[in-house]
Amino acid sequence: MAKGHWFREYYEAILVAVIFTLFVRTFVAQAFKIPTGSMEDNLLIGDHLFVNKMIYAPHLDTPLHALMPYRDIRRGDVVVFKYPQEPERDFIKRAVAVGGDTLQVQAKNLFVNGEPEQNRFVVHKSHEVFPDSSFLPSSARNRDHFGPYTVPAGFVFCMGDNRDNSLDSRFWGPVPRHYFKGRALIIYWSYDAEPNSHLVQGLWNRTKQLAEVALHFFTRTRWLRTFSLVR
């Protein structure tokens, strides 16, 4: 085989692999890492997920598209979206109400359309219930008392499962529908990481961080969480 021919085949194979990877990452699935405890104990800091980006994608009214697993966001979905106040950042929360729903939080308890929320993953790690008082700042009052509030059409109200430690729609409002990237699908790796480890800056600090992960890979990997479906 001529050297030039071999090089061209090798180059084409790499190019196809790169294009396929970019296509999958853009339209089908994307990896996502849990950086904070807002979804504990359902999702833990250091969980690495695959996000289904295709499920919420716009689709055409054709027989082919009818066979694809498209659907709109539903209450209870664990979703990844652009943070409305800083769109270059991705957040992960649970969709608790969609356009047209009326929700209310009373003494930590969430009601949607008058019915109590059915979510077995919700936790409250603080026993203190803040009073529903206008003298409290909204950052405190809205945690345990919110609404009633009707979600506008084209928006989704999102909350973390760790209700006492979650920056979510109670504080910055509902999320526009076009901000959603996909639905969390499966945990492919879980590593006992430090909170906000993604914020580490600088080549030296990042190198140290990677070296620590390599050193503790076997002892700090949560093996029982591998390939767990996200609920």
Looking at the annotation, which residues are catalytic?
38, 93
**Residue given tokens 């509902």 in the structure block:** 174
What's the CA gap between 90 and 79, in Å, rounded?
10
Alpha-carbon span 63 to 67, nearest angstrom: 7
d(CA 93, CA 121): 12
Which of 116, 98, 99 minimizes the C-alpha distance to 107?
116
Beta strands in the chain (DSSP E): 29-33, 47-52, 78-83, 86-98, 102-106, 109-112, 115-116, 145-150, 155-159, 175-176, 180-190, 228-229
